[in-house]
Structure 1
Amino acid sequence: MTFMKLKFGTAVLLGSLLIGACPALAEAVLHRGNSGEPQTLDPSQTSLEIEAFILKDLYEGLTSYDAAGRIVPGAAESWTVSDDGTVYTFKIHDKANWSDGTPVLAEDFVFSMRRVEDPKTAAGYANILYPIKNAEKVNKGELPVDQLGIKAIDAKTLEITLERPTPFFVELLAHQTALPVNKASFEKNGADFIKPGKLVSNGAFELAEHVQNDHLTAVKNPDYWDAANVKLDKVIFYPSEDQAAAVRRFEAGELQLVYNFSADQIERLRASHGDEVRVTAALSTYFYSFDTRIEPFKDVRVRRALSMAIDRDFLSKEIYSGAQLPAYSLIPLGIATYGEPARPDFADWSQLDREDKAIELMKEAGYGEGGKPLNIEIRYNTNPNHERVAIAVADMWKKTFGANVTLLQNDISAHYAYLKEGGKFNAARAGWTADYADAENFLAINLKKNPVFNYGRYDNPEYDALVEKSYNEKDPAARSKIMHEAEAIVLRDQPIAPMMNFGQLWLVSKKVKGWQDNGSNDHLSKYLSVEE
């Protein structure tokens, strides 16, 4: 017995010495520069990519993304689909738990998805789940929430019935809107359930601290079903809206990841940091939206003229150094089920020819030289690249039409909150990154029934009817043809002016391991580690 005690004591002493001497056992912390302050941590209210980065660390949906941006099982370890493609049955991980140690149940997803579709919630992205049977009717208040096509078969088995076959449905379930919230915490804390100390999550990390406009800290969730494979102890997100400051912090080693930086810095940064500079093509479109409710922007001739006068090649080359590509289509290249996007008639003209035709259209509408004065305010969210684009476009419109153009910038939260709430404007910068790899995701933002993201309140019954028709078409080729017809209409009417296809701009320290570039721009911290 004495020998055993001495051996144990020696082991403890040696262990203590090893812990103190071994840097590998130090806390593993990832410092992530995010490009703005999240508006919310409530999955039902989210709409921004910078929120998705955080939410997908805190919560886990039925499906998720791997490091390469591919759909993989999430909280559901497996699922089956009925022969007609309308009934999905999910088996939730036996070891899936909330951060308070209680099990993640099928009923948690029933509660969460009903909450999203409940009109009282006013979820901006409720349409993401419209493929679920009765979802749209529930969301419009035409049916009670218990009529949503989702039910718990048993504690760990969930059944979801769809309105119609939806090939991309499992991708929708990886969207942040489909993330589950903890019913007990929500019912106890109400709107405060998203605050540190109250937020109960089921993802690889849990919320430890959130200091508005300074930082948000998430720590490893020991109750996560795959915690053994999570290498980080802590992730700290910094709302780095000041891109120059974020780059300086990266170069000083204070940040290991930075999302978005000024594109005019690409060449300098590549010279200094090599492959730490990552530029990846994305399923994204950068555009200006026109408010079709007010003059002169309700006139299609004015919208087309303004769009024609934008020199997209200049924006791509001179402002983004080729990190974004000129675009004339709403839907980006790269969606396999859609193929080559539609293009407006002026896409193949020279820029000089576009400008000549634009001047004619503007004169027909009664504006420009010899007509009514053309006053335009361009709204954009604070960002050096967006500011340079706005200045360049303003100059193009001044030179082409003699327009009086002013600029108005707001931080990202205020900018999008104003647009989503229906605030009136002239021209507003916006962008759309695919929530799932299907053309419908881009077409839906111009539907009359989608006012949250149809910023300019475009209203064309023919367009709406075609998009609706595509939902019921089961033949892939016929469906693609219908969607191309719809895109052609929106490009003819130009309620938005597509300008560029995004490149994702990241700075990734060589100390970060597990990073993979991907078109979906999903980079969950659970796959990353930091080496000193």
Structure 2
Amino acid sequence: MRGVFTGITRSCGKHASKAFVILALAAGTALTGCSTGEQAKPAEPPAAPQQPSVPAEQASGQKVLHMNLHSEPPTMDPGLAEDVPSMAMSMATFDGLTRVSKDTGKPELSAAESYTVSDDKLTYTFKIREAEWSNGDPVTAHDFEFAWKRALDPKTASNYAAILFYIKNGEKFNRGEVGADQVGVKALDDKTLEVKLEKPTPYFLELTAITTYFPIDEKVASANPKWANTPQTHVGNGPFKLDTWDQKKEIVFVKNDKYWDKEKVKLDKIDFSRVEDENTELSMFDQGDLDWAGAPLSTLPSDAVQSLRDTGKLVVQPVAGIYMYEFNTSQPPFNNANIRKALSYAIDRKLIIDNITQTSQPQALGFVPSTMTLKPDGYFKDNDVETAKKLLAEGMKELGISKLPDITLSFNTYEVHKKIAEAIQDQWKKNLGVTVKLESKEWKVYIEELHQGKYQIGRMGLLADFNDPVTFLEKLKEKDSPMNSTLWENPRYKELLDKAAYESDSEKRKQILVDAENLLMDEMPIMPIYFDTQAWVKADKVQNVFVDGIGNIDFKWATVQ
């Protein structure tokens, strides 16, 4: 999963969040310490160095979109991307076999011009259209085969590799059990790609629109393993190409004139500022220095949300995502399910939504988001303090302790995460007498430590990779999955997900998945808080920036009037 809200990962099911993880944009809104009032002092005109550029762009007729990127993308390599910022950058500079349509929200052919499917639904054969990489190399079926096998190769250490496990022997290759030649993807010739699947996968064309399925120029990557690290060596096949990457300051994309569908690309440039203060970002938007503020690449200050709503400027869109805390179940006392449930039952989700995030998120009383819910009423009650107290007592008795040790709650640096953590810290102290220490770290450090199990309770936001509950449920199937930071595993849970994978009757399949989610909520390796919405404001001149139902942002069709 995108591991990856700024600091949200994708759900990625067996594959991690999207990151996310997303693995990665922090779902919700945020407030920082730098006030708008200070930014607007007449004696200190904000963002003065940027002022001359806007008239110059207008005079030249260039169409330039000014955005902000709250968190530094860890990578520009689609095979390694697992968080929202990295995936958004890859979406701009690469093109998969399919791409989600802004008109229908469904995958449509992109780098592939046609495909056929075998009668047993296990073999897809794609014809790759005539296209060039940004350096002029031809895009071939070999580039897709190379990219997919590279991401699956355990030496690559792609945390999102499991999204490719739908391919025949993909998981076995990733585990070192078979060689690359046995993986079910093969270039039959320069323009024909054959893909064999483990089992019928009705959403496979949705998967091929995910960044891990994007091609990589085999010639370039083979010659230079660090090809994705600088604009001078970065090569893509998408609507834009990387022009500037000044870390902590600016990222600039320019139109890729070698893109096969360049006639539909209206922007000449996308200029991403790198401002980590949400109030400053909104102030820049108000002053015309940014054309967009907020999700999905940043957040809005929570104190500004109501006023933006009142003026009609606020755009709120439901998204298939969840904001939650993960328990490190390998460490006491969180190796005890009753203690995990006690902490989950003892929080007031409605209070957090009404007073902190303020963008009408549904309370999360399960793991699968409301946009694809299996059980709308959830699996437990919110703010059930009396039950929480009983569960805590039972859990401590089972562990043979009379008092919980101090707990550390970790989150990546973002004001909304801090405010939510402070609210939960207060609720746990008041309702259960639990002492909680808060720990904030920059995203790249935070997510690495989460993957390594160096935490007790950690914040995570997950976004779906495709529109099916398994994109979330499979995230926790294997404890050794790079995206399962809880280190929890349950044989019955795995059995249910395997059974669902081969069930063709939709109602029977749904019941199996309900049973799996019910088991998950009884074990509570994760503490769901709310299902996500994304909120942003944009200038009226900005048109056709596409944010899909699972939180991806695509600039291919964007324009500024």
Fold equivalence (TM over 0.5): yes
- Is 2:110 aligned against 1:78? no
Q: 2:360 aligns with which of 318, 323, 343?
A: 323
Deviation for aligned residue 1:519: 1.5
Amino acid at match of 2:341: R
Q: 2:271 aligns with which of 208, 211, 236?
A: 236
Question: Counterpart of 2:551?
Answer: 521
**Deviation digits for residues 66-100 of structure 1 (CA, Å, limit 9, x no counterpart):** 22543121211222211111111112122x21001
Question: Counterpart of 1:530?
Answer: 560
Hey, which bits of structure 1, 4+ residues long, moved more than 4 A? 20-25
Q: How do residues 333-412 of structure 1 correspond to structure 2 at under 5 angstroms?
A: 333-335=370-372, 339-340=374-375, 343-344=378-379, 346-347=380-381, 351=383, 354-366=384-396, 371-412=402-443
Larger Rg: 1
Question: Counterpart of 1:466?
Answer: 496
CA contact (8 A) 2:545 2:554 kept: no
C-alpha distance in 2 between matches for 1:449 and 1:493? 14
SS at match of 1:366: helix
SS at match of 1:371: coil
Deviation for aligned residue 1:342: 7.6
Question: Counterpart of 1:216?
Answer: 251
Question: Counterpart of 1:54?
Answer: 89
C-alpha distance in 1 between matches for 2:276 and 2:476? 28
Gap change, CA 1:77 and 1:339, over 3 Å in 2: farther
TM-score (norm 1): 0.90
Question: Counterpart of 1:107?
Answer: 142
SS at match of 1:237: strand
TM-score (norm 2): 0.85
**Deviation digits for residues 467-509 of structure 1 (CA, Å, limit 9, x no counterpart):** 1222222332222222111111111110001110011122221
C-alpha distance in 1 between matches for 2:350 and 2:160? 33
Gap change, CA 1:322 and 1:196, over 3 Å in 2: closer
Percent of aligned pairs with the same amino acid: 35
**Deviation digits for residues 193-231 of structure 1 (CA, Å, limit 9, x no counterpart):** 432111110000111110111111111110000111211
C-alpha distance in 2 between matches for 1:426 and 1:79? 47
Q: 2:237 aligns with which of 202, 208, 215?
A: 202
Gap change, CA 1:23 and 1:406, over 3 Å in 2: closer
Aligned-pair RMSD on alpha carbons?
2.1
Gap change, CA 1:375 and 1:30, over 3 Å in 2: same
CA contact (8 A) 2:266 2:559 kept: yes
Larger RCO, structure (CA 8 Å, separation 6 or more): 2
CA contact (8 A) 2:98 2:107 kept: yes
Gaps of 5+ in 2: 1-54
**Deviation digits for residues 326-376 of structure 1 (CA, Å, limit 9, x no counterpart):** 1111001222xx6435832x33xx73xx101111111222389x9314411
CA contact (8 A) 1:58 1:206 kept: yes
Amino acid at match of 2:402: G
C-alpha distance in 1 between matches for 2:56 and 2:467? 49
Deviation for aligned residue 1:25: 4.8
Amino acid at match of 1:523: I
- Is 2:152 aligned against 1:117? yes
Q: How do residues 120-269 of structure 1 correspond to structure 2 at under 5 angstroms?
A: 120-258=155-293, 259=295, 260-269=299-308
Q: In proportion to residue count, which structure has more helix?
A: 1
- Would you say how many aligned residue pairs link Structure 1 and Structure 2? 500
Question: Counterpart of 1:12?
Answer: none
Deviation for aligned residue 1:459: 1.8
Gap change, CA 1:23 and 1:240, over 3 Å in 2: closer
C-alpha distance in 2 between matches for 1:122 and 1:469? 29
Question: Counterpart of 1:500?
Answer: 530
Deviation for aligned residue 1:517: 5.1
Deviation for aligned residue 1:24: 7.1
Question: Counterpart of 1:438?
Answer: 468
CA contact (8 A) 1:29 1:235 kept: yes
